[in-house]
């Protein structure tokens, strides 16, 4: 079984060079570089201050409260072809929708879709299930109001890192609690965390030992703040970890991850179980690329962007589920 083709194989040397050039600056900008405070709460505050430097809000975003939750909304000209329910990353302890304003605006303009990016509550102030509760509330509102508000009742979802987790978790709750799983036509899940019980790669057991934005200590911090007091087994309850849930009757998914990402195994497991449940899934594995590889300028990340664009085009060209 090959996880990438000869074209990507030939690009691995360039990718490693690009990572060496760009990862230190990425780590500094994201608040993960340099010595961190020992106290967990102080460390979260320190990381939030660094992470906030990455926000790049755009004037085209509309500030909106949906189901009581702050959202950033992008509208196409005319009726939308679909509505993309988006979730930002940040380990469930930091981040904001503004991080993805530029990318969400591009999605809106390129495909004629509305984008609703959710500012869900974060730990440690608001541990599980506060974030998924917020995401599910916005999803419920869209199920009822997307057609009237945006001109289309078709829904897609997706996100990056913790946002990938949020998209998967909310999709499962939309299926099970809202009885609206078939309203979603696709899920774009980008290097997410799907096993909160700490998969092997989260613990540092990776197939490739290249540099990464994440490390086992940092991932453990995310888990302890988001799921305080829970054992690893409790963190793997299907209501918490999507990789352990019933994955039947879910929409087509694109799952993307790099081989030096400490969340690699989460995506491999989720994709395999999605396929075993007879769901349509495509797995994009980026050799030698870390967490957040979309920001690494190289041929492999370019191919991933192209594949993601084709995925959106393909899903939107199909009839609704």
Residue whose tokens read 């102030």:
125
Cα(185)–Cα(290) distance, integer angstroms: 28
Torsion of CA 294, 271, 124, 65, to 10 degrees: 70
- The pLDDT value given to residue 118: 98
Cα(196)–Cα(87) distance, integer angstroms: 18
Task: Reply yes or no on whether 291 is catalytic.
Answer: yes
Among 119, 195, 212, 261, which one carries the catalytic annotation? 261
Q: Decide: residue 264, CB within 10 A, 0-12 exposed, 13-18 middle, 19+ buried.
A: buried
- Domain 6-317 adopts which CATH fold? Rossmann fold (3.40.50)
Task: Reply yes or no on whether 261 is catalytic.
Answer: yes
Instruction: State pLDDT tens for residues 245-266.
Output: 999 999 999 999 999 999 999 9
- The pLDDT value given to residue 50: 78
- The pLDDT value given to residue 20: 96
Cα(259)–Cα(290) distance, integer angstroms: 7
Residues of the chain with pLDDT under 50: none
- The pLDDT value given to residue 34: 62
Among 161, 223, 267, 301, which one carries the catalytic annotation? 161
What's the pTM?
0.96
* 3-state DSSP assignment of residue 29: helix
- The pLDDT value given to residue 39: 87
Return the domain boundaries, the chain. Answer: 6-317
- The pLDDT value given to residue 25: 83
Residue 173 structure tokens: 């709750």
Task: Reply yes or no on whether 241 is catalytic.
Answer: no
- The pLDDT value given to residue 147: 97
Among 86, 88, 262, 291, which one carries the catalytic annotation? 291
């Amino acid at each position: 079984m090959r996880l990438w083709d000869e074209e990507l194989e030939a690009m691995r040397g360039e990718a490693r060079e690009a990572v060496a050039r760009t990862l230190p600056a990425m780590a500094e900008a994201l608040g993960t570089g340099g010595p961190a405070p020992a106290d967990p709460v102080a460390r979260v505050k320190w990381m939030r201050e660094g992470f906030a430097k990455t926000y790049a809000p755009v004037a085209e975003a509309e500030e909106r409260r949906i189901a009581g939750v702050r959202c950033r909304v992008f509208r196409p000209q005319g009726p939308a072809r679909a509505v993309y329910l988006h979730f930002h990353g940040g380990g469930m302890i930091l981040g904001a929708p503004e991080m993805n304003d530029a990318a969400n605006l591009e999605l809106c303009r390129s495909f004629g879709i509305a984008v609703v990016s959710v500012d869900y509550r974060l730990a440690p102030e608001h541990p599980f299930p506060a974030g998924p509760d917020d995401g599910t509330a916005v999803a419920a509102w869209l199920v009822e109001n997307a057609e009237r508000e945006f001109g289309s009742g078709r829904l897609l979802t997706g996100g990056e890192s913790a946002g990938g987790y949020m998209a998967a978790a909310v999709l499962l709750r939309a299926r099970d609690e809202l009885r609206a799983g078939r309203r979603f036509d696709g899920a774009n899940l980008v290097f997410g965390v799907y096993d909160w019980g700490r998969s092997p790669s989260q613990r540092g057991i990776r197939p490739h030992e290249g540099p990464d934005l994440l490390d086992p200590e940092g991932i453990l911090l995310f888990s302890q703040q988001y799921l305080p007091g829970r054992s690893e087994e409790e963190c793997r309850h299907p209501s918490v970890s999507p990789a352990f849930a019933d994955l039947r009757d879910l929409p087509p998914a694109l799952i993307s991850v790099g081989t030096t990402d400490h969340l690699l195994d989460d995506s491999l497991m989720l994709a395999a179980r999605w396929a075993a449940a007879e769901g349509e899934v495509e797995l994009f594995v980026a050799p030698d690329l870390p967490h957040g590889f979309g920001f690494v300028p190289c041929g492999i990340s370019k191919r991933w962007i192209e594949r993601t664009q084709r995925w959106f085009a393909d899903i939107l060209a199909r009839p609704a589920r």
